[in-house]
Amino acid sequence: MKKKIAIIGSGIAGLTLANFLYKNKNHDFMIYEKNDSLPLDEGYGIQLSANSIKILNELNFSKINSEKIYHPKGLDIYNIQNKKLCDLDLVQFNTNNEKYTTLQRSTLIEFLKDDIYNQHIRFGKRIKEVSELKGKVFIKFDDNTNDLVDYVIGADGIFSNTRTFFEKKKNAPVFKNAIAIRKTLKSKLGLAIDQSKVSLMMGKNCHLVIYPINKNEELNFVCIFRHKISHPDNINILLEKVVDQNSNLKKFFNEDFKSWPLYATPKLIPSTNNKVFYIGDAFHGFLPTLAQGAGQSIESAYELFNLIINERGDIQSIYFQKRSKRAKIVRRRSNLNFFIFHLSSKFMQKIRDFFVKFLVKRKSFINSYLGTVYKN
Ligand SMILES: Cc1cc2nc3c(=O)[nH]c(=O)nc-3n(C[C@H](O)[C@H](O)[C@H](O)COP(=O)(O)OP(=O)(O)OC[C@H]3O[C@@H](n4cnc5c(N)ncnc54)[C@H](O)[C@@H]3O)c2cc1C
């Protein structure tokens, strides 16, 4: 039977689900977004591995303008002094049509918005009240409009407001004692790195990731460093600690960057209402150290879509079991990466470097550590 679905939030998770529902045509749906527009001018990068490209290809992602994306063939691992330790072949996880892809987040949003923008997104909407009515969910928004739906999908990010209306148990995101800064670089870097690959530089209490985001030689630059306060008074004092480890990095830390604290979801908790589901960061917010946040948002949307259209069994419990199993794997690896990327003792760094060099060459290890995530 035709269902009516309200998707709260137009990030990568919400837009992916909406695209599948649009293509399927069997259900009515609307995205309710709190902001007044989509962030289409935002230049920051994301990495998508084969697991999410496979799903996006069902939405014709392979037809995207190839100038706007990049397929890095490898990951080069350096210490913060720019000495190369080893490299990892990323092509091993690719198939002909599903390649490790880097791009601007806005390029992905632009692609996902195309079919649904005019008819299926309402901006400036925040839930004010929810109630049960005739076996459905009645949602009131703060502009006094409303909707009566069969399913509500919370796709409103790590600080999900949807949860506060439907869940008694809090699952507030936890600050992970780390801050990220990001910018897009448009010029030659002056670092001894191969700009066509993903470069990871591991330092004391910090790491950097640099990768191309299109064929226009633009690069995404992200530096993550440990810090106990989520909103430091003077971020430049912290950045000096990175520059102290490699003075060549000074030029990247001028005013022109964006910074934000890193949070993660402490627990994976099922929805307590069988008409309400959470996808993307609203279900599982990870540390970005496995670059899987967007990829898992896409996966979660796709899994839920398939359950909704097939309508077989207890959708809620099947979704939760499958999704939490997958999320636990990603969370464990993201947390472990976070730990090993930031070691502060010189001695521990030496041991780490030895093991990283050793393990990167072990096919069976790489297959179980990354292959299980990238080739789902
Ligand atoms: C430093 C950093 C680097 C990252 N790098 C990568 C990477 O390389 N690869 C990768 O896969 N992932 C990466 N991620 C993670 C990735 O960006 C997120 O996991 C992903 O964007 C989550 O998508 P989402 O749709 O679930 O949530 P969001 O993108 O947060 O979208 C939520 C949407 O809901 C809206 N909203 C919020 N509240 C409400 C409300 N009350 N009512 C209505 N709408 C609301 C928001 O405005 C937004 O549009 C990174 C994250 C960080 C912090």
- The 10s digit of each residue's pLDDT in 268-320 is 999 999 999 999 999 999 999 999 999 999 999 999 999 999 988 899 999 99
Question: pLDDT at position 375, please?
Answer: 83
Residue 296 alpha carbon to ligand 1 centre in Å = 11
205-232 CB burial, b ≥16 within 10 A, e <16: bbbbbbbbbbeeebbbbbbbbbbeeeee
Q: How confident is residue 236, by pLDDT bands cut at 50, 70 and 90?
A: confident
Q: What is the pLDDT of residue 188?
A: 66
Interval 175-216: pLDDT, tens: 999 999 999 998 767 899 999 999 999 999 999 999 999 999
Confidence of residue 232 (pLDDT cuts 50, 70, 90): confident
Q: What is the residue-wise DSSP string for 52-85? A: HHHHHHTTTGGGS-GGGEE---EEEEEETTS-EE
The span from the CA of 52 to the CA of 100, in Å, is 9
Query: Which domains can be identified in the chain, with CATH numbers?
Result: 4-48+105-173+265-339 (3.50.50.60)
Rounded CA-CA distance 51/93 in Å is 9
In the chain, which ranges are continuous DSSP H helix?
A: 12-24, 50-57, 105-113, 117-120, 162-166, 235-243, 293-310, 315-341, 346-360, 363-366, 372-374
Q: Would the CB of 281 count as within 6 Å of ligand 1?
A: yes
Residue 349, amino acid? Q
Q: Order the strands of the 151-154 sheet from edge to edge.
A: 121-122, 28-32, 4-8, 151-154, 276-278
Is the separation of the CB atoms in 184 and 218 below 8 Å? Answer: yes
C-alpha 173 to ligand 1 mean position (Å): 13
Question: Do the bridges between strand 136-141 and strand 146-149 make them parallel or antiparallel, or are there none, so unpaired?
Answer: antiparallel
327 CB near ligand 1 (under 6 Å): no
Mean pLDDT of the chain: 95
Verify whether ligand 1 is closer than 6 Å to residue 136 (CB atom).
Answer: no
| Predicted local confidence at residue 235, as pLDDT | 86
Locate tokens 């000096």: which residue? 240
pLDDT in tens, 313-366: 899 999 999 999 999 999 999 999 999 999 999 999 999 999 999 999 999 999
pLDDT > 90: percent of the chain? 89
What are the helix and strand counts (H, E) for the chain? 11, 18
Find, among 149, 226, 299, 185, the residue nearest to 139 by Cα: 149
Rounded to the nearest angstrom, the distance between the alpha carbon of 11 and the centre of ligand 1 is: 6
Which residue puts its alpha carbon closest to atom 52 of ligand 1?
Answer: 288
**Whether the CB of 271 sits within 6 Å of ligand 1:** no
The number of C-alpha atoms within 13 Å of 201 and in the hemisphere containing its C-beta is 23
Ligand 1, atom nearest to 282 Cα: 26
Distance 352 CA to ligand 1 centre (A): 31
Which of 16, 30, 33 has most ligand 1 atoms within 8 Å of its beta carbon, as the pocket-test mutant? 33
For residue 170, what pLDDT is reported?
87
